[in-house]
Structure 1
Amino acid sequence: MEKKYLIWGTGNIAKLFLSTHINEFFFRNEIVAFADNDIKKKGKLFFDKKIILPYEIEEYTFDVILICCSAEKSIIRQIREQLKFQGMVLTMKDILIAMYSFYHDELRIYDKKIVVVGNPNNRETNLSRVYIFKEAEYVEINQVEKLKSMEYDYVLCTWPSEYWHISSDKRYEIVERKLIEKIVEAGGVDRKLVLTFSVTGIYWSVDKRYSLGEENPRQVFLLIKPGVGTVGLGGVILQVIPNIVYAKRNRMIPVIDMESFKNSYVAQDRIGKESGWEKFFKQPGQWHVRDIQRSKNIVESMVKRPNITIDEEDLNKYLEAQPILKKEVDEYCNTYFIGSRRILGVLVRGSDYVIMKPYAHCIQPDIGDMLRVVREKFESGGYDLIYLCTEEEAVVNLFNEEFGKKVFYYPSKRVECAVKGYLSESSMYREQNLYRVGADYWITLNALSKCNALVAGDCSGTQVAILLNQSRYEDIYVFKLGRYGIDDIVSEGKGEFSEASKT
Structure 2
Amino acid sequence: MNIKRIKRYINFHISKLQIYKYFVIINLFIFHFNERVHKKSFGEKNKDLVFYVIRPRGITEGILSCYLNVIQEVKYARDHNYIPVVDYQNYENQYRMSKSNKEYINSWELFFEQVSNYTLNEVYQSKNVILSGWSIKKCLQVKVNFSFEDQIKFYKELDVDISLKRELLEKANYIEKKYINDKTLGLFIRGTDYVALKPKGHYIQPTVEMLLSKVKEYIQEFQIDNIFLITEDKEIENKIKKSLNVSINVLSNNICDKYDGKDYLSSYFSKSEVIENAENYILRVILLARCKYLISSITSATLFMLSFENCMFQKSYFFDLGKY
Superposition TM-score tier, normalisation by shorter sequence: 0.7 to 0.9
* Residue aligning to 1:298: 129
Correspondence for 1:425 among 254, 267, 271 = 267
Correspondence for 1:276 among 107, 110, 116 = 107
Question: Map of 1:309-388 to 2, 5 A cutoff?
Answer: 309-311=154-156, 314=159, 317=161, 319-338=162-181, 341-388=182-229
Q: Aligned pair in 2 of structure 1 residues 432, 210: CA closer, same or farther (>3 Å)?
A: closer
TM norm structure 1: 0.54
Question: Map of 1:429-468 to 2, 5 A cutoff?
Answer: 429-430=269-270, 432-468=272-308
- Any idea what SS the aligned residue of 1:376 has? helix
Question: Is residue 212 of structure 1 aligned with residue 42 of structure 2?
Answer: yes
Amino acid at match of 1:352: D
Amino acid at match of 1:379: Q
Amino acid at match of 1:460: S
CA RMSD of aligned residues (A): 3.2
- Any idea what SS the aligned residue of 2:105 has? coil
CA shift digits 1:368-417 (9 cap, x unpaired) = 21222222233223322211111111111111101244221211121015
Q: CA deviation at 1:228?
A: 1.7
Amino acid at match of 2:256: V
Contact 2:95 2:271 in 1 (8 A): no
- The share of aligned pairs that are identical, in percent, is 24
Q: CA deviation at 1:457?
A: 1.4
Q: CA deviation at 1:453?
A: 2.2
* Residue aligning to 1:412: 253
Amino acid at match of 2:159: D
Question: Is residue 264 of structure 1 aligned with residue 264 of structure 2?
Answer: no
Contact 2:98 2:105 in 1 (8 A): no
Question: Is residue 226 of structure 1 aligned with residue 69 of structure 2?
Answer: no
Contact 2:84 2:115 in 1 (8 A): yes
Q: Aligned pair in 2 of structure 1 residues 342, 288: CA closer, same or farther (>3 Å)?
A: same
* Residue aligning to 2:116: 285
Contact 2:290 2:311 in 1 (8 A): no
Amino acid at match of 1:350: G
Question: Map of 1:22-421 to 2, 5 A cutoff?
Answer: 32-33=8-9, 50=11, 52=12, 68=17, 95=22, 99=26, 103=29, 109=30, 199-200=31-32, 204=35, 206-267=36-97, 272-302=103-133, 309-311=154-156, 314=159, 317=161, 319-338=162-181, 341-416=182-257, 418-420=259-261, 421=263
Q: CA deviation at 1:479?
A: 1.5
**Richer in strand (by share):** 1
- Any idea what SS the aligned residue of 1:454 has? strand
TM norm structure 2: 0.82
- Any idea what SS the aligned residue of 2:159 has? helix
Higher RCO (Cα < 8 Å, 6 or more apart): 2
- Any idea what SS the aligned residue of 1:411 has? coil
Contact 1:227 1:235 in 2 (8 A): no
- Any idea what SS the aligned residue of 1:311 has? helix
2:59, 2:209 → 1: CA distance? 31
Count of aligned pairs: 305
Q: Aligned pair in 2 of structure 1 residues 231, 100: CA closer, same or farther (>3 Å)?
A: closer
Structure 2 gaps of 5+ residues are 144-152
2:167, 2:254 → 1: CA distance? 20
Contact 2:54 2:84 in 1 (8 A): yes
CA shift digits 1:400-438 (9 cap, x unpaired) = 101244221211121015443101101xx2174443222
Contact 1:312 1:470 in 2 (8 A): no
Q: Aligned pair in 2 of structure 1 residues 353, 452: CA closer, same or farther (>3 Å)?
A: same
CA shift digits 1:98-124 (9 cap, x unpaired) = 7489x3xxxxx5xxxxxxxxxxxxxxx
1:254, 1:277 → 2: CA distance? 13
* Residue aligning to 1:470: 310
